[in-house]
Amino acid sequence: MRLLVGDIGGTKTALGVADTDGEQVNLSEPKRYPSAAFATFDQIVQRYLNETGVTCRFAAFAVAGPVQDRRSETTNLPWALDADALELTFGFSGVDLLNDLEAVAWGVPALGTQDIAEIHPGDALSQGNACVVAAGTGLGQAGLFWDGVAHHAFATEGGHTDFAPVDELEFALLTYLKRRYGRVSWERLVSGPGIANIYEFLLERHGAAQPDWIRQAIDEGGDTAAAVAQAAADARCPVCAETMDLFMRLYGREAGNTALKHMALGGVYLGGGIALKNLALVRKGGFLEGFFDKGRMGSLMRRMPVRVILQPHTPLLGAARFMASQ
């Protein structure tokens, strides 16, 4: 089966052509586009088709947002997608939309050992449900139900559940964010914008001024999270280092919450750009401290393998496998 596949994110949108037998996927002509530079998703599809000259009868698009009745409004973009309208506009015989983290979950079985970095081995003999937790522009989560033979992917919007602080520092962080947002979800902390939120909170808490060189890096790159993470990695900014340490503990805590809810003895997979770009920091210890810190469930958590997805095209692979299954 040959089809056009896409991964529609708040920052970037990726498109490619997939050939699949339903299990293995061969991807060609991958391209990425800055999402905010386009008024609609249709414009990106048209640009891609013009640039590559490819033709496909079918298409499957992973969307950063909930999908209902073949429609989706992206969470971090002002786009509305309609599978029926896409069929009419581009002449496809069939179009499917699925949540982007559901697509990642569909893609997990197509990954090889070179596509995964192990953070915690867990119990290598255990089988069961698995889950995917991905911090990027937002916080996506999905599950993989184990039926005794194979995994079945399903979407969730778990990243939008309420943030729960556990100590005085986190209660102060919650109070700070409530002034800004009202309701505070985990996505307000465990995401790229979440890194910026934590950094700004710590600056205020310490009464510290933002260094000019950090402000310049943010102005030039337009990405506070990237600038803070790089400054922390270079050991140039104590507040940045504290930001990333707290972020990783919170990421580990929420990944552990998700793993408990899914009883993910089959593995916890970390997707999204933040874990991939900060792999050394994920391995450092704060993430796993947060992940294991589940009181009486601590021994259960240690049985769960934790892995980082290194393959950036996993949502495209998953979208292809999903479409083939339909």
Work out the number of other CB atoms within 10 angstroms of the CB of residue 235. Answer: 9
Give the separation between CA 5 and CA 22, rounded to whole angstroms.
Answer: 14
Is 11 part of any known ligand binding site? yes
Is 9 part of any known ligand binding site? yes
Is 285 part of any known ligand binding site? no
To 10 degrees, the CA torsion angle through 264, 287, 272, 254?
Answer: 60
292's CB contacts (< 8 A; 6+ apart) are 252, 256, 298, 301, 302
Give the separation between CA 311 and CA 107, rounded to whole angstroms.
Answer: 10
Give the separation between CA 253 and CA 117, rounded to whole angstroms.
Answer: 19
The enclosing H or E element of 314 equals helix 314-325
Sheet holding 151-155, edge to edge: 116-120, 306-309, 268-271, 130-135, 139-146, 151-155
What DSSP string describes 64-112?
SS-EETTEEE-TTSS-EEEHHHHHHHHT-SEEEEEEHHHHHHHHGGG--
The enclosing H or E element of 238 equals helix 238-262
Nearest to 301 by CA among 314, 313, 292, 310: 292
Give the separation between CA 104 and CA 282, rounded to whole angstroms.
Answer: 20
Question: Annotated binding site for ATP, which residues?
Answer: 6-11
Question: Annotated binding site, which residues?
Answer: 6-11
